[in-house]
């Protein structure tokens, strides 16, 4: 085992036989989805090969092909209005020309574009323009502080930054050109002004120099890690999404998942590749999300467990009969959440498992989720995923191991080459523990550093969460290991009571767990809190919990 920076050696995913097997799964999935349908006629078909050659599988390629095939179909409906595929392409080209002119004006060797924006054209257009103009793009976490942003901009030499107005006061004076990504009020240059000018006559490069896509971790202290991803040339993993989610060409999807994170970004790519209509809002509101589904007769809802919970808590009756699928990622789906979504929407929830660094690792279809709520699904085409013990030996089926994988959308490394990355046999560690069952389905138990040993027994906090998530009166729950003088470690839980359920007590919580799990899983500490501290994508931030703080 060794720590590495950028990856340059041959991966197992590059072997010819593996590529052929991946291709054999990729083609049927893509054909079923309609991604290679005859929409647009001969003209669109003739554009397919040149667009792939010039733009690879960038966002620019997807909207360029969409404009060739279905130019008048709505591509994006956001807080600022609606754009057809033709309009989205034209705006992206206009922005790309402006970026190239800025590059020439400032004498830059390459474009280094930063984006700090919520869902909508404020992030979609820079992603698209990057594919036309070339260069590198950095998707900044909207929770970053001013000091973190100063470090990010300096460390990554960002030249131009697109930022939503509500984050503008956090942007330090670093010399980067700042563009308001959303709203026109205020001073300075706005994205709307740039794309509406159409007076920049700079030529777009015929063969753009495709740089990296860099996603920032949601680090709570210090400079967040910059996770470097290549723009894929042949993303076999797309078949994994299409095998699990019945996504079809021309669908209308409500996209709640944050585009600045892996799940939202990958869903955006699939939506554009299937020439879908994307409906989204900058700030999630469960009532507004339901109303968008009703108004636009959405076929799919792409979201995360925390947002599904908020939607399920609303009592009002909404018409969601148009929905054929729900897709979730970012947090574990508990059996209780699966049951509630099934009762409300039907058996249509698919689950995607992955990470910021390694993208898609496994995908479970609605049928697979209904058969076994604990599975995260099958490993997608183009991916090698193995489980190893602490000595670096592969573990047999049924035994828990550390999850390692690689595919063509995995990170190349970090923007800071000193950031360690654990690797075995050409595969990179995800940071999770899991096991394969006899049918080849992957089950994820916890993060490596979340598992604790209580009296010699392994305890995965997620198992306690899954049990308490089904307890009446418990709205939200989080479990974590804490130090213990007698047992070294014990489980503690933080619970948000459902409204009108003061009868949920510490002893009641312990008794609920005692009747369902072994004694070593019973929480030593039970904390009742008004809310769980979450980051922008809904993950709990442990350091803000009472009783944990900076110690963990």
**Per-residue model confidence as pLDDT tens digits over 221-231:** 567 889 998 88
Encoded tokens for 375: 């599975």
- Looking at residue 386, what is its pLDDT? 96
Q: In angstroms, rounded to a whole number, what is the distance separating the alpha carbons of residues 285 and 438? A: 41
Q: Name the residue among 406, 421, 402, 59 with its Cα closest to residue 225.
A: 421
**pLDDT one-digit tens code per residue, 94-111:** 999 999 999 999 999 999
Q: Tell me: pLDDT of 419 over 90.
A: no
**pLDDT one-digit tens code per residue, 444-482:** 988 877 778 786 777 888 889 999 999 999 999 999 998
**Are the C-beta atoms of residues 384 and 400 closer than 8 Å to each other?**
no
179: three-class secondary structure by DSSP = strand
- Looking at residue 14, what is its pLDDT? 67
Q: Tell me: pLDDT of 343 over 90.
A: yes
Q: What is the mean pLDDT of the chain?
A: 89
What is the share, in percent, of the chain residues with pLDDT greater than 70? 95
Residue spans in the chain of domains classed CATH 3.40.50.980: 84-230
476: three-class secondary structure by DSSP = strand
Question: Which of 267-276, 293-302, 377-386, 486-495 comes out lowest in average pLDDT?
Answer: 486-495
Write the DSSP assignment of 445-466 as a string of letters: EEETTT-EEETTEEE-HHHHHH
Q: CB-based contacts of 140: which residues, under 8 Å, 6+ apart?
A: 114, 115, 116, 149, 152, 216, 260
Neighbours of 486 (CB within 10 A): 7
Model confidence band, residue 502 (pLDDT cutoffs 50, 70, 90): confident
Residue spans in the chain of domains classed CATH 3.30.300.30: 452-551
Q: In angstroms, rounded to a whole number, what is the distance separating the alpha carbons of residues 376 and 368? A: 9
Q: Which fold has domain 84-230?
A: Rossmann fold (3.40.50)
364: three-class secondary structure by DSSP = strand
Model confidence band, residue 6 (pLDDT cutoffs 50, 70, 90): very low
Q: In angstroms, rounded to a whole number, what is the distance separating the alpha carbons of residues 425 and 443? A: 22
Q: Tell me: pLDDT of 332 over 50.
A: yes
Q: Tell me: pLDDT of 10 over 60.
A: no
- Looking at residue 220, what is its pLDDT? 52
Q: In angstroms, rounded to a whole number, what is the distance separating the alpha carbons of residues 355 and 227? A: 11
- Looking at residue 68, what is its pLDDT? 95
Domain 452-551 sits in CATH 3.30.300.30:
yes
Encoded tokens for 170: 């956090």
User: Where would I find the H helices in 135-276?
Assistant: 146-156, 191-197, 238-244, 262-273
Q: How many helices (H) and strands (E) does the chain have?
A: 15, 27
Q: In angstroms, rounded to a whole number, what is the distance separating the alpha carbons of residues 50 and 80? A: 32
Q: Tell me: pLDDT of 497 over 90.
A: yes
> Which of 44-48, 187-191, 311-315 holds the top average pLDDT?
311-315
Q: Tell me: pLDDT of 387 over 60.
A: yes
Encoded tokens for 418: 């000193």
Write the DSSP assignment of 379-443 as a string of letters: PPTT-EEEEE-TTSPBPPTTS-EEEEEE-TTS--EESSTTS--EEETTEEEEEEEEEE-TTS-EE
Does the pTM surpass 0.95? The reply is no
Q: In angstroms, rounded to a whole number, what is the distance separating the alpha carbons of residues 115 and 181? A: 8
Q: Which residue has the higher pLDDT, 78 or 450?
A: 78
Residues 524-543 have a mean pLDDT of 88
Q: CB-based contacts of 531: which residues, under 8 Å, 6+ apart?
A: 476, 496
**pLDDT one-digit tens code per residue, 26-72:** 788 888 888 777 687 888 888 888 888 898 889 999 999 999 999 99
Model confidence band, residue 1 (pLDDT cutoffs 50, 70, 90): very low
Encoded tokens for 176: 């980067």
Model confidence band, residue 551 (pLDDT cutoffs 50, 70, 90): very low
Q: In angstroms, rounded to a whole number, what is the distance separating the alpha carbons of residues 440 and 15? A: 22
Q: Tell me: pLDDT of 550 over 60.
A: no
429 beta partners: 404
Q: Tell me: pLDDT of 3 over 50.
A: no
- Looking at residue 4, what is its pLDDT? 34
Q: Name the residue among 372, 379, 382, 376 with its Cα closest to residue 364.
A: 376
Encoded tokens for 109: 């060797």
Q: In angstroms, rounded to a whole number, what is the distance separating the alpha carbons of residues 247 and 267? A: 11
Q: Name the residue among 410, 385, 406 with its Cα closest to residue 13.
A: 406
Q: Tell me: pLDDT of 13 over 70.
A: no
User: Where do we find the tokens 């060794």?
Assistant: 2
Q: Tell me: pLDDT of 536 over 80.
A: no
């Amino acid at each position: 085992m060794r720590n590495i920076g950028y990856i340059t050696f041959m991966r197992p995913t590059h072997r010819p036989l593996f590529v052929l097997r991946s291709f054999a799964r990729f083609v049927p999935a893509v054909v079923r989805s309609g991604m290679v349908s005859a929409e647009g006629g001969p003209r669109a078909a003739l554009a397919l090969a040149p667009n792939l050659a010039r733009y690879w599988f960038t966002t620019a390629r997807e909207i360029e092909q969409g404009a060739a095939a279905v130019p008048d179909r709505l591509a994006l409906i956001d807080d600022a209005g609606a754009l057809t595929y033709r309009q989205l392409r034209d705006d992206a080209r206009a922005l790309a020309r402006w970026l190239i002119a800025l590059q020439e004006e400032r004498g830059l060797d390459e474009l280094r574009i930063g984006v700090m924006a919520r869902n909508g054209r404020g992030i979609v257009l820079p992603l698209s323009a990057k594919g036309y103009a070339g260069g590198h793009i950095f998707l900044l976490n909207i929770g970053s502080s001013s000091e973190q942003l100063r470090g990010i901009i300096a460390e990554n030499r960002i030249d131009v930054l697109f930022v939503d107005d509500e984050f503008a006061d956090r942007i330090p004076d670093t010399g980067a050109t700042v563009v308001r990504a959303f709203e026109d009020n205020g001073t300075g240059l706005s994205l709307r002004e740039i794309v509406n000018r159409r007076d920049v006559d700079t030529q777009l490069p015929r063969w753009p120099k495709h740089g990296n896509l860099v996603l920032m971790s949601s680090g709570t202290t210090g400079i967040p890690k910059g996770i470097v991803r290549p723009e894929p040339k042949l993303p076999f993993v797309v078949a994994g999404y299409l095998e699990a989610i019945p996504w079809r060409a021309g669908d209308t999807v409500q996209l709640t998942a944050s585009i600045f994170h892996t799940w939202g970004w990958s869903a955006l790519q699939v939506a554009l590749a299937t020439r879908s209509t994307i409906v989204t809002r900058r700030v999630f509101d469960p009532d507004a999300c339901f109303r968008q589904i009703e108004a636009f007769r959405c076929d799919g809802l792409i979201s995360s467990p925390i947002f599904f919970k908020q939607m399920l808590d609303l009592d009002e009756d909404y018409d969601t009969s148009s929905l054929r699928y729900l897709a979730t990622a970012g947090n574990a789906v508990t059996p209780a959440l699966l049951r509630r979504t099934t009762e409300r929407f039907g058996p249509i929830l698919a689950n995607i498992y992955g990470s910021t660094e390694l993208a898609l690792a496994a995908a479970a279809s609605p049928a697979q989720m209904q058969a076994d709520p604990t599975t995260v699904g099958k490993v997608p085409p183009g991916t090698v995923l193995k489980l190893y013990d602490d000595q670096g030996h592969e573990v047999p089926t049924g035994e828990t191991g550390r999850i390692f994988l690689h595919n063509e959308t995995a990170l190349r490394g970090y923007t800071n080459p000193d950031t360690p990355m654990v690797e075995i046999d050409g595969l990179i560690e995800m940071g999770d523990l899991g096991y394969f069952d006899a049918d080849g389905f992957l089950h994820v138990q916890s993060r490596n550093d979340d598992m604790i040993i209580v009296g010699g027994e392994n305890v995965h906090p997620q198992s306690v969460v899954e049990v308490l998530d089904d307890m009446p009166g418990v709205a939200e729950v989080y479990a974590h290991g804490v130090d213990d003088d007698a047992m070294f470690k014990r489980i503690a839980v933080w619970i948000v009571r459902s409204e009108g359920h003061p009868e949920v007590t510490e002893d009641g919580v312990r008794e609920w767990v005692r009747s369902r799990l072994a004694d070593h899983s019973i929480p030593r500490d039970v904390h009742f809190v008004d809310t769980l501290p979450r980051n922008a994508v809904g993950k709990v931030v442990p350091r803000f919990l009472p009783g944990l703080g900076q110690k963990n």
